[in-house]
Amino acid sequence: MPHRNNNMRIMLHRKNTDEAAHHSDQGVIRKLIPGEAGALAAHLLRLEPDSRHDRFTGGVSDAFIVGYARHALRPGSVVHGWFVDGTLRAAAELHPYGPRTPALAEAAFSVEGPFQNSGIGSELMGRTILAARNRGIRLLVVRCVVDNRRMQAIARKYRAELRFEFGDVVGELANAGPTPLSLAREMIADGHGFVGSVLDLQSQLLRSA
Ligand SMILES: CC(C)(COP(=O)(O)OP(=O)(O)OC[C@H]1O[C@@H](n2cnc3c(N)ncnc32)[C@H](O)[C@@H]1OP(=O)(O)O)[C@@H](O)C(=O)NCCC(=O)NCCS
């Protein structure tokens, strides 16, 4: 049966977005920089066929993914990556729609098969909600196929701060806007990501020495 696309839209209330997230100490989460389109493409290409289908809500070619990744790290977009031993294994993309609709953004999530169901997607959802709030995004759209239970389970974890509407639209996220605390939390998370990456690189170098 063909999958039907659904827009998952989630309403965000003022609350700590990290509370519902799991934590994984296996890897490091940090934002990707524009020069990392190749790493993003490699990660998306590693997704199993089902996951690739769910991520892009349909079948897409390898060439499409390579072109997509090049465009994904454009100015204004925020892409968090989860790295294990220096390899990008999961990503959360936040793409504002543009200056005409500055309060609207699309988000997308991808976790490679062996790492699914261990809390990474939930953690990345928290980071994405925080980044959206801090950029004045009021409406976040996650496109997902209607039977994507994992994505729906993640959204439900944030129900304390998210209001859901069911029907064609699964949920709606309207951002409460940045606060000094939410801005500080993103800065602190970025700092942790930077330190984690340095330590990760050091341990890789030690292992290969
Ligand atoms: C969807 C995706 C991002 C979720 O990431 P993840 O790291 O696997 O998710 P988490 O481990 O944080 O959470 C998954 C939740 O779904 C639940 N779950 C898993 N399979 C389920 C199922 N068949 N039915 C209901 N819930 C299910 C898990 O129990 C878990 O909830 P819990 O933590 O309360 O137990 C990831 O699986 C993925 O990349 N899928 C392919 C791409 C995709 O679908 N992207 C989303 C659209 S953009």
37 Cβ closer than 6 Å to some ligand 1 atom = no
For atom 36 of ligand 1, the residue with the nearest CA is 111
In terms of residue numbers, what domain contains 101?
A: 5-32+77-208
Q: Look up tokens 């292992």; give the residue.
A: 207
Q: Evaluate whether residue 46 is within a structural domain.
A: no
Q: Evaluate whether residue 72 is within a structural domain.
A: no
Q: Evaluate whether residue 169 is within a structural domain.
A: yes
For atom 37 of ligand 1, the residue with the nearest CA is 116
Question: Which SS3 state, helix, strand or coil, does residue 206 take?
Answer: helix
For atom 27 of ligand 1, the residue with the nearest CA is 150
The span from the CA of 102 to the CA of 203, in Å, is 41
The predicted pLDDT at position 92 comes to: 97
Q: Evaluate whether residue 56 is within a structural domain.
A: no
Q: Evaluate whether residue 158 is within a structural domain.
A: yes
Low-confidence ranges of the chain (pLDDT < 50): 1-23, 160, 162-170
Q: Evaluate whether residue 42 is within a structural domain.
A: no
Q: Evaluate whether residue 49 is within a structural domain.
A: no
Q: Which whole-number Å values give the CA distances from 162 to 52, 69, 170, 189, in the listed order?
A: 26, 29, 11, 21
Number of domains in the chain: 1
**DSSP result, 24-62:** -SSSEEEE--GGGHHHHHHHHHHS-HHHHHHHHTS---H
Instruction: Note the pTM of the prediction, 2 decimals.
Output: 0.84
The predicted pLDDT at position 10 comes to: 43
- Tell which atom from ligand 1 comes closest to the C-alpha of 145: 47
Q: Evaluate whether residue 41 is within a structural domain.
A: no
